[in-house]
Structure 1
Amino acid sequence: MAPRPGALRCRPIEETDLDTVVGLLAAGFPERTQAYWRDGLARHVARGVPDGVPRYGYLLDHDGVAVGVLLTLYTRIADATGSHLRCNLSSWYVDPKFRAAATLLDGRAMQDKSVTYLNISASVHTRAIHEARGFRAFVRGQLLAMPSLSRSQRGRRVELFSEGHAGILSPRERGLALDHAGYGSLVLVCRDATTARAVVLQPHRIKAVPRWPASPTLACYQIVFAPEPDTLAAWLGAIGRYLLLRHGVLFVMLDANGPLPGVVGRYLHGREPRYARGPHPVPIGDLSYTERVLFGA
């Protein structure tokens, strides 16, 4: 029997709902453990959330029973255009019996037209739905790079971020570097005689043979914050040698819309596209404060 539509309501997630939320997410994403969700929510709880927005996201409630969930990870961005809100819509799951009502969740979550909304992990079968609802892909694929094989200009240094670097980074990158180091990300500072920029990486693993289910995996880093692609490309050689010498890691994955000149690697069109909807464009390579950082790959 189909559920009664009138019995459904969408409401904000409260602190007392967190055990229920973890159970729903573990059911909806069985490849993830409950510990994965608890740890990610704990990191999220520790963050300062902008005023006037949901702390966690929304539940779909049917007669007092939670049957769906959507996390909303808000961040206030200060850039050249001013100060504005960005929201990563994450971990959207609805019990199969209630899938017809799934859009109640994102419809409620996206009511504020001044916010820019992100979806960085849209599954293949939902991408057309997101596009029909106004999302556009600002990243269309991934570049699997071997940056240690790229050339690097003399005088460029890559160092592990410490509080001693705070004075040479811009205010936004300084705060971002401190926050992400606290989340356990690998934060590097790329510097030369005139410039210092932060690059943030998350541990990742990739299949050695992509189409083989039993393939062994290889250690990799995903770049989750970096300068614009052309600037990053000039630093990748130095970054790659740092990762190889200090961490024994050869591969880096980064958001891209095609190959980058001078970067040794393979562009994978259609792999992990990133979608956005809203008034403020999201720079390629900026996954800061998103699920990729707070929850991991």
Structure 2
Amino acid sequence: AAGARRHLALAATAMSGSLGVVLRPCLLVVVIAYLNREVTTDELFGWGIWVFVLTATMFAMVALTVNRQSQFDLAPAADAFPASIQALRPLIPYVIVIAAVVLFYRFALDVKMDEFSAPRLLPVIMLAILVYEHISLKNGRGRASGEINHQGLERSVRGATNDTTAEIGALLLLLGLSVSIGGVIERSHIMETFPQAFDSPWSAMLLMVVILVILGMIMDAFGAVILVTATVATIAYSSGIHPVHFWMVTLVAFELGYLSPPVALNHLLTRQVVGEAEVLAAQQEGGTFYQRHERIIMPLIAMGISLVLVAFVPLLFYAN
């Protein structure tokens, strides 16, 4: 909507689904801390902020350097800053609505926004956004920006509820399938063919990265965490890999797996959020192989480089 390339917009949307995995209040981190007493949510979220900065910066660098048709031609700050503020202005009401709900819970109900209260606050925030959009569109202020498909508050809530119930059912089936796959892998004793400890944490980390990315490509995150906890984690600990480091690598590897074929879960969610027409329009665009598949290749490059850095650079500081 802001004028970016269609493939770049789809890549950024898919990438955003991975970037937030390491940030508070991600439920996946809570599950990891619950199943593994060697780590805590504070440790994982604390390092997760830096991992988020790394992956976001890496994606920005790839987007600004790969597939550029010309040299950088940056506008003067006097021109760019007002235009950026103008583009951000439509988002300000949503920020205010979200902040109002969070502050109401904090001061009126003494409930802080954290990984434990988020499941209760997020539905209320979404309902508050629906109410705001209903009021703004009803008053005609939203029609100027092209938001003309207004169907009323009741129909919006009912439609969102119907969609949510169907998606929850599909998610439960996916979770059940993932746990089943994990059980098959565990009972097949595949992991017993690998050494239970490596002499070098570097070789252990290399094996961990390959296994974790493959699991992220084919399994749901929660089912994969259960499998990793029961099998791979103990090998990593015995090989001298720090537990916090191992689980941060696990999260980034899962992020890369969500962006990778054959499933590419984040791209499927992007298609659902953005719409089928926009994705089909991107697929019709020509150009080189990279340009025709930029929405898939660009996140893989950014997240792949980030995974290598997260996996091996910390070993320089504590591995013997």
TM-score bracket relative to the smaller structure = under 0.3
TM-score norm. by structure 1 comes to: 0.22
Bigger strand share: 1
Structure whose alpha-carbon radius of gyration is higher: 2
TM-score norm. by structure 2 comes to: 0.21
Bigger helix share: 2
